Structure 1
Amino acid sequence: MAEFDVDLFVIGGGSGGVRAARIAAGYGARVMIAEEYRMGGTCVIRGCVPKKLFVMGSHVRQEIEDAAGFGWTIPEVSFDWPTLVANKDKEIARLEGAYTTNVEKAGAKLVKTRAVLEDAHTVRLGTGETVTAKYILIATGGAPNHGAEIPGIEHVISSNEAFHLPELPRRVVIQGGGYIALEFAGIFAGYGSDVTVVYRGDNILRGFDEDVRKHTRAELEKRGITILTGCTITKVDRHGKDFTTHLTSGSSIASDRVMFAIGRHPNVANLGLEKAGVAINPKNGGIEVDGWSKTSVDNIYAIGDVTHRVNLTPVAIREGHAFADTVFGKRPVQVDYAMIPTAVFAQPEIGTVGLTEHEARAQFPNVDIYKTDFRPIKATMSGRDTRVLMKLVVDGATDRVLGCHVVGDCAAELVQAVAIAVRMKATKADFDATVALHPTAAEELVTMRTPTARHVRQAAE
């Protein structure tokens, strides 16, 4: 008889866990994967995918407004929020089915139940059964974090609930200044809601390039989104279907919904980690892992948002694949976290890869900046007051492009391609030698010839 029931037990059926299960099974491992909610995890069920569907739908209103400049006369149109939600649910159900089918086709066994650790090699299922495994992979993801308790916190929704609201709120207050807050600000505003964003910092998008932060804020405000910085929400009162949100500034805001998007925390509670001896990283609250995604217990690994490293779906997938290659494929692979492209599907869209200007100046003595801010060709006909930002951060000594930052339509699509060049250590001369594709916005990245700024760090005496 085999020493263990399975070779690998995966806790969590999100993108990272599913990838690990499929690849490990492909190597001949006996794999079992448990998911207590729905297959697909945060990204597919209540994150990236439904968010992007909502974003695309919210663009239609702007397209209709812009159409007049191109000669179109469009009759009065109407929008139905329940139809949007229902059609989104159908697509999510289809994707969930695909995830389930792909796992089973790979030869892994799926159990739709909660699973917790009993010890380093034993998992207890929600049914009461126990399964022993040679290796265990924890891929339970993360969840919205509302922060400190405040009076009326029970009235606040997160992005989870936002996808299932019975009707479109006329007025929305959103606390937060990162990805999720700004994406939902654009979504609700696009469908016609009056949106106010409340953020504790001096400006939105902490950690992004300063020019990106300033440009995005200006564009969001042009679209009618109110952004209040330097304050937080202290209390939420409910009056029937309405809410009054009180701020540290002393002012208050009336709305139909209040949403918090101030961050996410790793799903580590009640997993039995202490029974198995799995350590938590005291710096971020996630499961502590090394460069191979191994925890403090030799046979237990963790990937994705539960480790609180780089909380992006493609990163979780890469980590899951690397784990399976390393442990079951006998091909040691470590994930390289440098030059990871990322996008914020706000309106306007943000795409970025590599170093910000601030980061580059801290790491390199000579830094050249190439930046352009221009009116896109579509706006010349539509009349819309909007501008595109494109920025390259370059090592002044080697001419290597260290970072690329774009704010404007299709920024994410553009930066995905540029990320290849940046990762390959392309130089500014390589960009300059590339023939422009005209007429496009992207051609600006290969036609900027003169630095807009040069920073030279003086050597210490």
Structure 2
Amino acid sequence: MASVFCFNNVIFRGVRNFRGNTFYAFKTVNTQIRNSSSAVNKSNNSYEYDLVVIGGGSGGLSAAKEATNLGAKVAVLDYVTPSPRGSKWGLGGTCVNVGCIPKKLMHQAALLGEAVKDAQSYGWQFPDAENISHSWDALRDAVQGHVKSVNWVTRVELRDKKVEYINGVGVFKDPFTVQTVTKQGERLLTAKYFLIAVGGRPRYPDIPGAIEYGISSDDIFSLPNEPGKTLVVGAGYIGLECAGFLRGLGYDATIMVRSVVLRGFDQQMAEVIAAEMQDKGVKFLHKCLPKAVEKLDDGKLKVTWVNAQKEEFNDVFDTVLFAIGRRALTRELDLAKAGVKVAGDGEKIDAVNEQTNVPHIYAVGDVLYKKPELTPVAIHAGRLLARRLFGDSTVNMDYENVATTVFSPLEYGCVGLSEEAATEKYGADNLEIYHGYYKPTEFFIPQRNISHCYLKVVALREGDQKVLGMHFIGPNAGEIIQGFAAAIKLNLTVQVLMNTVGIHPTIAEEFTRINVTKRSGKDPNPASCCS
């Protein structure tokens, strides 16, 4: 199958081989090819690399390593522009450095603080229990120590797999050439294929003082000083997770909510999470927008905001953390010079099976339009793409029914459709919503609050009732929902779920005992731990 396109007076003619790979020959029209001094001869279709990956995060690295396993010659370009506060980090991308990994470690630190309190109820004796305190400096240093070790291991792994790592920013010069500037000078890299995997960085609101005095998730995990009284602007999963572990570590935490909590997630579950966090001491400012951040003489930050009624308020904080979303780093790539189009939002790339409108240029991860912004998604998509380009595979990434977890103090794990999305797609009359509250055994003796331990199964009403979505709020939610994600991939039904024998006493077994529907109006609370 042939494809032809013209760019900058150059005609590219591509032909797919039996593996689905596209090979290009091209000629100029009334012009000469620039950069003729390049180390390769483009007209002979001889490229320096088989694959150049722009971005050293999870998705790009997984594609690079898999491609080398399949015999390809690969280079990875990666450079971290410091945050407005000067934070920077090593190879590995957002997840390793300023995302999933440090977040989970700090979440674990907060859970351990709660566990220390529970331990006394179980008979553990702490003579100085009243004097137990937490050190931000010790936690930060431990987290950063682990992150740096992962950076090093990643560098070594690339070297062992013979992936060339280039610490530089990649910018397109034409559809087959990327320019980078390193400490050694300027380089031009040509490749048969390019993979855009640059991810994104946090947004800041366009208000006075936001960039000058605020921080983001790029900064919180390496913050040199204790965060103290913190305002988190934004109620997505990053905002909730940061406020949750800060409160768990003993700091005053407030979340400013523009519209709704956890937009895009099941809203009933989101309300339960917000209520549970409030019980833990996190404050919420609903329907509010920040207007300005001002630094006072004592170094504290005065924040002014307005509510839905346009009433103005202010308060003083030690730290202001913005978690209002992230932007894809595509503008920095000069995509127009490669002919790559972006989606209607002006930032993300609307690719089909990771392939952009330029056939030999691909994209994975957070730069993709309307795809889950999750590390495992980027990793899997990158690996599958490499197998299609350099192996005999024809397997494409399946972006449906991807499980995820919000690491709030009481975790929320989900897979599949929310109740709202299922209603919109199938209609309320065609759905059966099973739900129930439950009592974690671990909560009994410490008499911890169980009022927010809740789960829901969204299913079709007819036949064996195919499961469309599963939602769980409780301890270890991520570990629990992972197995059910595989079951949903295999078309799990409510009948199968109810015929599955649970492991007792666990909280995962609650899904196998669920039998109350919202439509029935019955009490979803359990009569006992074994009911």
Shared fold (TM-score, shorter chain, > 0.5):
yes
Task: Determine whether 1:370 maps to 2:445.
Answer: no
Correspondence for 1:142: 200
Indicate if the aligned counterparts of 2:436 and 2:516 stay in contact, CA closer than 8 A: no
What's the counterpart of residue 443 of structure 2? 379
Q: What secondary structure, in the 3-state scheme, does the structure 2 residue paired with 1:370 have?
A: strand
CA separation in 2, counterparts of 1:307 and 1:44?
A: 20
Residues 49, 191 of structure 2: 8 Å contact kept:
yes
Quote how far apart the aligned CAs of 1:454 are: 6.3
The separation in 2 between residues aligned to 1:284 and 1:314, in whole angstroms, is: 25
What is the correspondence of 1:230-269 to structure 2 with a 5 Å cutoff? 230-239=287-296, 240-249=298-307, 250-269=312-331
Residue 13 of structure 1, CA deviation: 1.0
Partners of 1:299 and 1:244 in 2: CA distance: 50
How far the C-alpha of 1:374 sits from its partner, in A, is: 3.0
Question: Is 1:108 equivalent to 2:163 in the alignment?
Answer: yes
The gaps in structure 2 that reach 5 residues or longer are: 1-39, 81-89, 522-531
Segment drifting more, 408-417 vs 233-242: 233-242
Once the two structures are TM-superposed, the CA of residue 450 in structure 1 deviates from its matched residue by: 3.1
Shifted more, 366-375 versus 150-159: the winner is: 150-159
Amino acid at match of 1:445: F
On the 8 A contact 2:207/2:291 being kept in 1, the answer is: no
In structure 2, how many angstroms separate the alpha carbons of the residues matched to 1:105 and 1:87?
Answer: 27
Residue of structure 1 in register with 2:72 after alignment = 29
Q: Alignment partner of 1:221: what SS?
A: helix
1:307 corresponds, among 368, 372, 387, to: 368
Deviations 1:177-199 (A, max 9, x none): 11100000111101110111001
Q: Does 2:59 match 1:16?
A: yes
Q: Distance in 2 between matches of 1:412 and 1:384?
A: 20
Q: SS at the partner of 2:385?
A: helix
Aligned mate of 2:98, from 18, 34, 46: 46
Aligned-residue offset at 1:284: 6.0
C-alpha separation between the residues in 1 aligned to 2:395 and 2:438?
Answer: 43
- With over 3 angstroms needed to count, the CA separation of the structure-2 counterparts of 1:152 and 1:427, relative to structure 1, is closer
Match among 262, 273, 283 for residue 226 of structure 1 = 283
Q: 1:334 to 1:389 in 2, by over 3 A?
A: same
Deviations along 1:407-436, one digit per CA (max 9) or x if unpaired, are: 111011100011111111111111111112
Q: CA separation of 1:210/1:131 partners in 2, compared to 1, >3 Å: closer, same or farther?
A: closer
Equivalent of residue 426 in structure 1, options 483, 492, 517: 492
Give per-residue Cα distances to partners, 1:111-137, cap 9 Å, x unaligned: 122221111111112121112111111
Q: Which residue of 2 aligns with 1:85?
A: 140
Select between 444-453 and 189-198 the one with higher mean Cα deviation: 444-453
Contact preservation (8 Å) 1:151, 1:234: no
Please report the TM-score for the alignment, with normalisation by the length of structure 2. 0.82
| The one of 404, 408, 429 aligned to 1:342 | 404
Paired position in structure 2 for 1:158: 216
Bigger shift: 238-247 or 344-353?
238-247
The CA deviation at 1:452 is 2.8
Matches within 5 A, 1:259-408: 259-283=321-345, 285-290=347-352, 292-308=353-369, 309-364=371-426, 365-387=429-451, 388-398=453-463, 399-408=465-474
Aligned partners of 1:237 and 1:243 also within 8 Å: yes
Aligned: 1:445 with 2:507: no
Alpha-carbon separation, structure 1, partners of 2:194 and 2:516: 54
Given the alignment of the two structures, is residue 124 of structure 1 paired with residue 175 of structure 2, yes or no?
no
Give distance in 2, aligned partners of 1:427 and 1:296. 39
Equivalents in 1 of 2:513, 2:232: separation in Å? Answer: 39
Alignment of 1:211-222 (within 5 A): 211-222=268-279
Contact 1:153 1:236 in 2 (8 A): no
Q: Does 1:200 align with 2:252?
A: no
Unpaired runs of 5+ residues, structure 1, are 456-461
Q: How many residue pairs end up in the alignment?
A: 453
Q: 1:322 corresponds to which letter in structure 2? A: L
- Aligned position for 1:3: 46
- Percent pairwise identity: 34
Tell whether the 8 Å contact from 1:401 to 1:422 is kept in structure 2 after alignment. Answer: yes
CA RMSD of aligned residues (A): 1.7
**Any conservation in 2 of the 1:153–1:235 contact (CA below 8 Å)?**
no
Preserved CA contact (<8 Å) 2:329 2:347: no
Instruction: Give the Å deviation of 1:81.
Output: 1.1
For 1:152 and 1:413, how far apart are their aligned partners in 2?
37
The alpha-carbon distance between structure 1 residues 152 and 261, as it changes in their structure 2 partners (threshold 3 A), is closer
Q: Look up the equivalent residue of 1:348 and give its one-letter code.
A: L
Give 1:459's aligned residue.
none
2: CA distance, partners of 1:224 / 1:328:
53
Encode CA deviations 1:225-263: one digit per residue, 9 max, x unaligned.
001111111111111321111111312122100011010
Alpha-carbon distance in structure 2 between the residues aligned to 1:85 and 1:224: 23
- Among 139, 146, 152, the alignment partner of 1:97 is 152
CA-CA distance at 1:64 after TM superposition: 1.6
Equivalent residues of 2:256, 2:288 under 8 A apart: yes
CA contact (8 A) 1:168 1:193 kept: no
Report whether the alignment pairs 1:189 with 2:247.
Answer: yes
1:103, distance to aligned residue in structure 2 (A): 1.9
